[in-house]
Amino acid sequence: MRGSTIPAMVVSLLLVLTGCAASNGSGSDDVTPAASAERADLAFSGETLDGATFEGEQLAGKPAVLWFWAPWCPTCRAQAAGVSALAGRYAGEVNVVGVGGLAGVADIRDFAAKVSGPTHLIDPDGAVWRHFGVTAQSVYVVIDAEGAVVAEGYLEDEDLADEVAGLVG
């Protein structure tokens, strides 16, 4: 039994460590199309940077973008400016929430403090990540005002901006 556990742990660790570079760069192969139209389960809670409780139900009634990131991820770092600009452009119209995970609380806080605009959740244990079935970073979950998931997966900045623009019409 022990012999089969160690290789499985090594493979899992490698998947987590390489997940940041898993995209092929086009964005299109890694995104679930809008045709899936599954409903987002907003029954979750998390902790914001200031220690307040964030309830997922707060997202109801407006389009939302959830960005699952890790502070050590180069892709996530590159996306930070785009997410910040998106949050600023659609402030009041679209909920933009960054969910930092796969690191310690101090590292998550440090990175989040550099990304203005989104509401940031601190998720070091991955509870919100698991709630949405996220297993790697950087992943977006885009939800329309009626609560349908319209896109999920890796998105280039332009593709994310197009998705959001289509939701606010």
For the stretch 39-49, pLDDT in tens is 999 999 999 99
List helix spans (H) across the chain: 2-18, 74-89, 105-113, 127-131, 157-168
Angstrom distance (rounded) from CA 45 to CA 78:
27
19 has pLDDT over 60: no
Supply the CATH number for residue 151's domain.
3.40.30.10
Whole-model pTM: value is: 0.80
Q: Give how many domains the chain has, as a whole number.
A: 1
User: How many residues belong to the chain?
Assistant: 169
For the stretch 83-96, pLDDT in tens is 999 999 999 999 99
| Residue 153 structural domain | 2-168
Based on the number of CB atoms within 10 Å of its own CB, is 127 exposed (0-12), middle (13-18) or buried (19 or more)? middle
Angstrom distance (rounded) from CA 108 to CA 98:
10
